[in-house]
Amino acid sequence: MTKVVTRIAPSPTGQMHIGTVRTALFNYLYAKQHSGTYFVRIEDTDRERNKEEWVDAIWEDFDWCKLPPDAKYRTSERLERHVALLNTLLESGKAYVSKEPKKDDPSQEVEVVRLKNPNTTITFTDLVRGEITFDTSELGDFVIARSITDPLYHFAVVADDGDAGVTHVLRAEEHISNTPRQILLLEALGFTRPLYGHFPLILAPDRSKLSKRKHGASIEKYREQGFIPEAILNYLALLGWNPGTEQELFGLEELVAVFSLERVHKGGAVFDIEKLRWFNHEHLKRLDAAEYKKRLEAFANTTVGDRIIPLVRERAVTLQEATNLLTSEFDFLENPVPYDTALLLNKGKLDAATTKKHLLALKDLTANLVVGDSSTQDMRHWFLPYVWENDSPDVVKGILMPYADQGGRGNVLWPLRVALSGKEKSPDPFTIIWLIGTEEATRRIEAALNLL
């Protein structure tokens, strides 16, 4: 049996569409499942629309998506080979040079290369859509190169796929109408015909084609919003393919095992951002704490304490939302947000002298606690009365709550919480002490005392 070879051939004309990522994924899955190879070829044949920055962006996107190709190259690197193949076609009479007036300036003459169309009927069995037949006589002797050194897209695709031994051309359905031209060309060049499979479109909720311009459907946009590649790949796999079971959550390796072209849908699938968000939260929860921290730190461009991780991970569906929580709700970690005495006294509801008494007592209780990240712990746990191997907000609560119950919870816990966070709304004081550690907590209570 021939080894399976698949490829994805994006053109560097803009940000990468999410549909291109799905095509890459299906090519990757199919190749890996058959112990074959999958490569990326940047199809830079359109010299006017290509941009170097998009070439760089495509490589970066594939890295980020974690769909590592077995090989990668650019069509333009193969120009010499294309010219040689064009010459073979000219020599065998299967193509000819045609002198014609230039399209946009008829006063000038150009020498394009045209394929001599044998005008046959072409039938191929699409792996997704079944048998498809085209009468190629309507195509005429179509142009395959702007000049002998400037091959056009169809020619380059066929030459590159043929030389690379691509066995399965799996791509978006907009390429179905390109297939007859490409089959005519590969027959002229003498390459073996690959199998073709065309995937349906990804649709917007109004069933129009999901667009980068209208719907922000590029991989960069989702990355910027804090989606992670595991979730995007999982969601894209199910958008256009059905596993035949109830299972929804898949890692890449699991997909390799269960993917099948037979269960790729024939009709377009509607992209549902809420569903992607669900996948994102699930995959974020699947990361271990160290990996989550690494990704959040890279995304938020800041360091994040270990203890904050479970608190944000539970609530934030995307890394952007986690970043927002860090800045909106956990902004007191480094320092309390500046506050005034009025807030400390709950806008006049609390009495200064009593509050002072409570804060003094709380300071002593807190100073005797040993909590905090290992970085904030010190040798005191050898000497102090409360020694906690695995401290938690509940441990802090266990020590401070009896005092609050005596003095009245509102009277005691409000000023404590404001002293620690500086905020009208924040997590409870036990959680904050656990997050910032004993020493910092004591310092903050002292600062509050100085206001009274």
CB of 182 to ligand GLU, least distance (A): 8
Structure tokens at 399: 């020590």
Report the residue from 81, 129, 175, 295 that binds ligand GLU according to the rule CB under 6 A: 175
Count of alpha carbons within 13 angstroms of residue 148, beta-carbon side: 12
Report the residue from 4, 5, 6, 11 that binds ligand GLU according to the rule CB under 6 A: 11
Q: Verify binding: residue 61, ligand GLU, rule CB under 6 A.
A: no
Q: Is the distance from CB of 371 to CB of 439 less than 8 angstroms?
A: no
Q: Verify binding: residue 166, ligand GLU, rule CB under 6 A.
A: no
- Helices and strands: H and E segment counts in the chain: 19, 13
CB of 216 to ligand GLU, least distance (A): 19
Structure tokens at 12: 């560097």
CB of 161 to ligand GLU, least distance (A): 8
- Pick out residues in 245-264 that bind ligand GLU (CB under 6 A): none
CB of 270 to ligand GLU, least distance (A): 21
Closest CA to 189 of 40, 121, 87: 87
Pairing of strands 195-199, 202-203: unpaired
Q: Verify binding: residue 157, ligand GLU, rule CB under 6 A.
A: yes
Q: Verify binding: residue 160, ligand GLU, rule CB under 6 A.
A: no
Using the minimum distance from each CB to ligand GLU, give the nearer residue, 22 or 171. Answer: 171
Q: Verify binding: residue 22, ligand GLU, rule CB under 6 A.
A: no
User: Which residues are CB-neighbours of 34 under 8 A, at least 6 positions away?
Assistant: 3, 4
CB of 197 to ligand GLU, least distance (A): 11
CB of 317 to ligand GLU, least distance (A): 31
What is the Cα Rg of the chain in Å? Answer: 32
Tell me how far apart the alpha carbons of residues 202 and 130 are, in angstroms, rounded to a whole number.
20
Q: Verify binding: residue 171, ligand GLU, rule CB under 6 A.
A: yes
Structure tokens at 269: 């699938």
CB of 304 to ligand GLU, least distance (A): 38
Q: Verify binding: residue 27, ligand GLU, rule CB under 6 A.
A: no
Distances (CA, A) of 237 to 22, 240, 271, 326, 351: 7, 7, 12, 32, 62
Q: Verify binding: residue 19, ligand GLU, rule CB under 6 A.
A: no
Q: What DSSP letter does each residue of 241-271 carry, written as one string?
A: B--SSS-----HHHHHHH--GGGB-SS-EE-
User: Which residues are CB-neighbours of 68 under 8 A, at least 6 positions away?
Assistant: 62
Using the minimum distance from each CB to ligand GLU, give the nearer residue, 41 or 283. Answer: 41
Determine which helix (DSSP H) or strand (DSSP E) holds 198, and give its type and residue range.
Answer: strand 195-199
- Pick out residues in 30-49 that bind ligand GLU (CB under 6 A): 43
Widest CA span in the chain:
103
Structure tokens at 394: 């509940």
Using the minimum distance from each CB to ligand GLU, give the nearer residue, 9 or 436. Answer: 9
Using the minimum distance from each CB to ligand GLU, give the nearer residue, 43 or 440. Answer: 43
Sequence letter at residue 262? E
145 φψ region: left (φ > 0), alpha (ψ -120 to 50), beta (else): beta
CB of 259 to ligand GLU, least distance (A): 19
Report the residue from 10, 19, 162, 393 that binds ligand GLU according to the rule CB under 6 A: 10
Segment contacting ligand GLU (CB under 6 A): 9-17, 270-278, 340-348, 349-357? 9-17
Report the residue from 4, 5, 6, 9 that binds ligand GLU according to the rule CB under 6 A: 9
Total residues interacting with ligand GLU, rule: CB under 6 A: 7
CB of 42 to ligand GLU, least distance (A): 9
Using the minimum distance from each CB to ligand GLU, give the nearer residue, 13 or 123. Answer: 13
Q: Verify binding: residue 212, ligand GLU, rule CB under 6 A.
A: no
Determine which helix (DSSP H) or strand (DSSP E) holds 291, and give its type and residue range.
Answer: helix 289-300
Closest CA to 196 of 130, 243, 266: 130
Binding site for ligand GLU (CB under 6 A): 9-11, 43, 157, 171, 175
